[in-house]
Structure formats: C-alpha cells, structure tokens
Structure 1
Amino acid sequence: MPKPLLLLLLITLLQLSLSASLTNPGDIAALKSFKSSITPSTILPSSCISTWDFSFDPCSSPKTTHFICGLTCSPDSTRVISITLDSVGYSGTLTPLISQLTHLLTLDLGQNSFHGPIPNSLSSLSLLQTLSLRYNSFFGPLPSSITTLTNLIDLDLSGNFLTGPLPTTLSSLTKLTRLDLSFNRFSGELPKLPPNLLELAIKANSLSGSISKVSFSDLTRLETVELSSNSFTGVLPNWFFQLPSLQQVNLANNSLTGVDIAKPDRKYNNLIAVDLGYNKIQGYVPVNFSDYPALASLSLRYNRLRGPIPLKYSKKGTLRRLFLDGNYLSGTPPVGFFYRGGDAVAGSFGDNCLRGCPRSSPLCLPSQKPMAVCKQAYAGKLSTSFD
C-alpha cells in the first residue's frame, strides 16, 4: 500500500478511536435506555430523538447529522449535562437508568406524553438544577427523594396526574427559586416551603387546610403566589400580606371565609395584584387594601361581602382593575369611580345590592340582584343607603 494511503488510513482509524472514547460509557448506556423507553411510533423523522444514532458518539463534534439536538455535553465532550427534548409528542416511560447521567444539570421533557411514575432514581442526579416534566402524563406520588436534589433551582411538574400529599421535606430544596406543581391531584396541607422561592404555583389541585405561617416562614424573597382552585379554608391572615417581597397573589376558587389585612408597614409596599374571587369571604370589603401604594388590581368577586364600597378605593390612583361583583354590597358606589377620565377603573360592581349605580357605566354590569334577594340576605334590615 502506498505510504500516503497508509498514513491516511492510520489517521482515520485514530480519529475513529478518539471519537469512540469521548462520551462516558455510563452516559451512553443511559441514553440508549432513555431512547428505548420511548414508543418508536412517536419518534417522528423530524424529531431530535430520531437523530440519536449510537453508531456515532453522542458527544463528538461537529454534530451535522447525528445527535444534532436534544442533548448537550460538557466542554470536554465526555459527559452529558443537559437533555432538553422538543415537544413533538414522545410517549413512553422515564427509564430509571437516567440516574447514570450524574453530571446532568438540566432535564426537560416538557409537553410530551411520557407516563408512569417518576422514578426514585432521579435522586442520583445530585448536580441537577432544572427539572421540568411539565404537561406529560406522569402519575403516582411525588417521590420524596426529589427533595434530596439540593442544587435544584427550577422544578416544574405541572400538568400531570400526580397524587398524594406533598413531601414534608420540600423545604430542603434551599436553592429552589421557582416551583410549579399546578394542574395535578395533590392533596393534604401545604408543607413548609423552600426558603428562597421567588415563584410558587400549585393551582388546580386538591390542597386543603389553612394558609399556615409555618409554610411561609423565612420566605423573604417570595414575589408570586398562585394557589387558586384548591380547597383552602379559614381566614387569610395579615402576616401573609406582610411577606416583604410579595407582589402578586392568586387564591381565587378556594373556600376562604375571611381576610385579615392591616395597614402595611412602609417596607411592605410591593403588592401589585390580589385575586381572592370565588371564595366564601364574609364581612365588609377590606379597606386596608387601599393602603398598599402599588396595588393596581384587586378581585373580591363572588364572595359574601356586605356593606358599602370603601370611599378610599375610588381615590386610589394606582388602582386600574377592581372586581367586586357577585357579593351583597349595599349603598351607592363612590362617584369618584365614574369621573376619572383616562384613569378609569376596569372591572365590575354588578350582581350586588347597590343603588344608584349609573347604568351607563360598564362598572355597573351585570344588573343588581333583585330587592327580594337583598332583603333576605340582610334579614329584612335595609339601611337608608340601601334603599
């Protein structure tokens, strides 16, 4: 064989040898198991997984025809550090051998059709920072072993069929800043939450009990709370609104019976939006909401509130949305709501027991309750402002 051809052959063999030795063998075995656990008919020709051809090294470069998407390797091309799948409807189970990808930082299988239980072996992924299994069909309890993943920053398991109580060790995820468990079937009370949360979303589940101070203790960075469509009961306590970074609250569609809210301390001035609609809140409209300087949106619709609309609400310049419809509010709404020009408030005062609400104003829609209903609600005791 001529020397130039022999040299070219040796170089080619050397390159193939180096290429074959790049990715950690344990990682390759895990990736093979991961792909084999996906139903072949759901791997479309245009999908990322269709390019996973194990006759080539997963971490070799350049990726022109094989492993072109869906995974990322470490700078030295030896370990898989990210699996982020395209949302094309992959169906299958999550292989327990995923635990061998011990350098994994991101696992995102969102918006596919994976099913079965979440494997306990995920606890071996000690470096994991982002875990997203959102909008699949995983079922069963949330493994408590997930709470050993102390490097997690973002945990999103929303839109599955997960059941049972939340792990009592959830607070051990001390680096977690975003938690979304919405649209599942979790039940029981809210446990103590991770201390560095910025965003909390567990809407549309079956959580119950009261909003406990133990659950929210030390959450000085919490900005967003989304717990709507559960079964929380009792009075929403004043300390809740004193969480120092709180901006947005949605506890609509629960069974809360009251709101205890005092005037805010000067340092608690971040509250922007509050939705407590569709609960069972009784008493007068909480006037102290108007003392939060940045409040722009407030919904107390479809509760059991009585009495007048606070005059201070009509004088609050930051307020842009106000929904008080579906209660038993009485008297005449403050005229300030109807003469604000470009600062007009959007919302509704309809379906109450108000009198003198201008029919020309969208705020007064829908129409007020019949007088007979209002008299029954007030046991026949109508104030002069109510007539």
Structure 2
Amino acid sequence: MVGELRKLQSLLLWQNNIVGTIPFGLGSCTQLTVIDISENLLTGSIPTRFRALSGLQELQLSVNQLSGIIPTEIINCTALTHVEIDNNNISGEIPSLIGKLKSMTLFFAWQNKLTGNIPESLSECENLEALDLSYNHLFGPIPRQIFDLKNISKLLLISNDLLGFVPPEIGNCSNLYRFRVSDNRLAGTIPPEIGNLKSLNFLDMCNNRIVGGIPASISGCKNVEFLDLHSNALTGSLPDRLPKSLQLLDISDNMLTGPLAPSLGSLTELTKLNLRKNQLSGRIPAQILYCSKLQLLDLGSNGFSGEIPKELGQIQSLEISLNLKSCEMFKKSLRTYT
C-alpha cells in the first residue's frame, strides 16, 4: 500500500509502537528524501530495494529490533547525508564501498553486532562530521585514512576489539571535538600530535594497553574538559602543564611516578581528579587549594608522604569523595584536614 504513494517525500513515523518489518514497497517511493521510523518495534532487515531511492537524504532506523546486514545496495543512495541505524541487532561487515556516499555527514551504527574491519573507504566520505561505531565487535586497526577527514568532529569507537595504535595523523583533525576509543585493545603511545587539536573537548582512551608517557604537548588542547586515560600502562610523570580547561582528569590504574607539580593548582575548573593506583610520591602540593571546584579527589594506592595539606579543608565543594587510602600520609592524623 505505502508503495503506491509515488510522490511521498518524507516518511516520519518515529517514536511509536509500530511492529512488523519495513515495507518492501518503500523502494517504489522514489521521491523520498527522508525516512525516519526510529524508536519503534520493527524487525527484519533493511530492504535492498532502498537502492532505488537515489534522492534519499536521511535514513533513520535507530532503536528498533532490526537484524540482517547493512545491504551493499545502500551505496546507490548517493544523496544520503544522515545514516542512523544504531541500537539494533544488525550484524555482518560495514560495506567496503561505503565511501561512495560522498555526501554523508553522519553515520551512527553503534550498539549493533557488526564485525570485520573499519573500512578504509570511509575516508572517502569527505563531508563526514560524526562517526559512531561503538559497542560492536569490530576488530583490526583504526585506518590511518580516517584521520584525513578534515571535517570530522566526533569519532566514537568505544568497546570493540580494535588493535594497533592511534596514529600521528590524528593531529590533522583540526575540528575534532570528541574522540573516544575506550575499552579496546589499542597499544602504542599517545601521539604528541594530539596537542594540535585545539577544538578537542572530550578525550577518552581508557581501558586499553597504551604505554609511554603523557606527552607534554597535551597542554596544547586548550579546550579539553574531559581527559580519561585510566587503566592503561602509562609511565613517567604527570606533565607540569595541563590544559586549564580540564573539568575531569582520570589517569588512575597506570604506572605514573614522581611528585605532583604545584602547577596542579592552575586547574581551577577541575571537579574530579582521580590518580589512584599509580606510583606517585612526594607531598601533595598546597596549591591544590586553588582547585576550588573539586568534588572528587582520589589519590589512593600511591606513595605520597608528608602531611595532608590543611588547605584541602578549604575546598568547600570537596564533599563527594576524598580518598587518600594506602598513602604513607594516611598513617598521620586526619585532624589537620577536618
């Protein structure tokens, strides 16, 4: 029935309780520019007949119960700008020719059952701004070519089986705002070129196998607010200079050594600081007083010595969590703090 609506341009049925499969006849509605049937109870697969929709610009199928594969025929929809198929049960590999979608600016396929490698051809989607392939079973390296995308602002690859390392080409992504690759098997070091990312706001590389030190160039990320590197194998000391824009800093469960620099007090926007389970030593600098917005401070399981700075008691917002457990100073009375 729906296939008889030959002049239909937009199909907007999102957020209902529609059941069944996507009508095969939609492929006959060749004037369609938008299909949004997200947030329903649809099952079955994405119809191969969508290949006839050469003018389709937005395909939104998120939050259903769709299965099957991403049909290769989708590459015929060359006008596509938005492809959202996240939160389904779609399996198989991402079509190797997906780079044919030159107009695509957004590709969301997170929370599915996708396998295989991330196609190198995605780098041919020159207008791509947001790519989210998180929570799948993708493996292999992150293609270097992905970092040639000049417009990419969000690159999210959380919780896959990705290997290899983050290449220095990441420094070319001048518009990158959010980069999340946590919960993979990435190794190698943090490339110094990451300091070129002036627009970066959110950097999440936690729970990988990253080694080496935190590059001093990280201070170049002038707008980063969220930096999460916990559960890696990082060594060396905490850089003397960190971005003053930081609100959350988590480098717990690594192998950092040395003392904390007094410059830590320059992080006046910091609300959460977690450095537990490292090999840090020395005294906690009194300059931490200037981190007046701190709500959570966890320095447990390190080798700090000396007295607990009385200045900590002046941070009025520090009421969620203060953990100095397993530090040498913990043996001293806490009365100077309270």
- With the shorter chain as reference, the TM-score category is 0.7 to 0.9
Aligned counterpart in structure 1 of residue 239 of structure 2, from 237, 240, 246: 237
Return the offset for 1:60.
7.4
Aligned to 1:223: 225
Kindly provide the amino acid, as one letter, of the partner of residue 202 in structure 1: M
CA deviations 1:63-95 (Å, max 9, x no partner) are 9xxx77359xxxxx9711111114222110011
* Cα offsets for 1:198-240 (capped at 9, x unmatched): 00000000111111113x1421111110000011111102212
Using the alignment, how far apart are the partners of 1:117 and 1:248 within structure 2? Answer: 32
What residue identity is the alignment partner of 2:61? Answer: C
Match of 2:104 in 1: 104
1:213 paired residue among 204, 212, 216: 216
Equivalent residue for 2:199?
196
Aligned partners of 1:143, 1:263: CA distance in 2, in Å? 37
Aligned positions of 1:111-126 closer than 5 A: 111-126=111-126
1:314–1:334 CA contact under 8 A, matched in 2: no
One-letter code aligned to 2:49: F
Give 1:128 deviation, angstroms. 0.6
Q: CA deviation at 1:265?
A: 7.4
Q: 1:190 to 1:78 in 2, by over 3 A?
A: closer
Aligned to 1:317: 316
Note the C-alpha offset of 1:165. Answer: 1.7
Q: What CA deviation, in whole Å up to 9, does each residue of 1:8-27 have, x standing for no partner?
A: xxxx89969xx676489xxx
Equivalent position amino acid for 2:150 in 1: T
Aligned residue for 1:251? Answer: 251
**Deviations 1:284-307, CA, capped at 9 Å, x for gaps:** 233322222222221101111222
- C-alpha offsets along residues 30-73 of structure 1, whole Å, 9 cap, x if unaligned? xxxxxxxxxxxxxxx823x6353517844779x9xxx77359xx
Contact map agreement 1:23 1:78 (CA 8 A) in 2 = no
TM-score normalised to structure 1 length: 0.68
Structure 1, residues 305-329: CA drift from partner, whole Å, max 9, x if none? Answer: 2222222112322222211012222
Distance, in Å, in 2 between the alignment partners of 1:167 and 1:69 is: 33
Residue 42 (structure 2) aligns with: 46
Segment of structure 1 superposing worse, 128-137 or 292-301? 292-301
Question: In 2, Cα distance between the equivalents of 1:102 and 1:262?
Answer: 50
Aligned CA-pair RMSD: 3.1
Counterpart for residue 156 of structure 1: 156
- Match of 2:61? 69
> Does the aligned pair in 2 maintain the 1:195–1:217 contact within 8 Å?
no
Q: Which has the larger radius of gyration?
A: 1
- In 1, Cα distance between the equivalents of 2:205 and 2:254? 13
The corresponding residue for 2:147 is: 147
The 3 A distance-change label for structure 1 pair 121 and 307 is: same
Q: 1:332 to 1:217 in 2, by over 3 A?
A: closer
Give the counterpart letter for 1:156 in structure 2.
L
Q: Residues 259 and 131 from structure 1, CA distance in 2 versus in 1: closer, same or farther, beyond 3 angstroms? A: farther
**Correspondence for 1:308:** 307
The aligned residue for residue 271 of structure 2 is 272
State the alpha-carbon separation in 1 of the partners of residues 213 and 245 from structure 2: 21
Aligned 8 A contact 1:228 1:254 in 2: yes
- Other structure's SS at 1:196 match: coil
The separation in 1 between residues aligned to 2:5 and 2:257, in whole angstroms, is: 75
How far is the alpha carbon of 1:137 from its aligned partner?
0.8
**Structure 2 runs not aligned, ≥5 long:** 9-27, 34-40, 63-69, 71-76
Specify the SS of the correspondent of 1:255.
coil
**In the superposition, relative to structure 1, how do residues 106 and 332 fare at CA in structure 2: closer, same or farther (>3 Å)?**
same
SS in 2 for 1:169: helix
CA distance in 2, matches of 1:120, 1:291: 46
Q: What is the CA–CA distance in structure 1 between the aligned matches of 2:277 and 2:307, rounded to whole Å?
A: 19
Counterparts in 2 of 1:141 and 1:326: CA distance versus 1, 3 Å: same
Give identity over the alignment, percent.
28
Aligned letter for 1:262?
Answer: P
Cα gap change, 1:56 to 1:311, in 2 (>3 Å): closer
Q: Determine whether 1:286 maps to 2:285.
A: yes
Give the aligned length.
Answer: 292
Task: Sort the Cα spacing of 1:15 and 1:309 in 2 relative to 1 into closer, same or farther, 3 A.
Answer: closer
Contact 1:174 1:196 in 2 (8 A): yes
- Give the direction of change, closer, same or farther, for the CA distance of 1:120–1:307 in structure 2 (3 Å limit): same
Question: Is the Cα–Cα contact under 8 Å of residues 171 and 195 in structure 1 kept in the other structure?
Answer: no
Is the 2:291–2:315 contact (alpha carbons within 8 Å) kept by the matching residues of 1? no
1:86–1:158 Cα change, 3 Å: closer
Give the TM-score of the pair, scaled to structure 2: 0.78
CA distance in 1, matches of 2:29, 2:294: 60
SS of the residue aligned with 2:145?
A: helix
Amino acid in the other structure paired with 1:141: P
Secondary structure, aligned partner of 2:236: strand
Offset of residue 113 of structure 1: 1.1
Say which SS state the counterpart of residue 140 (structure 2) adopts. Answer: strand
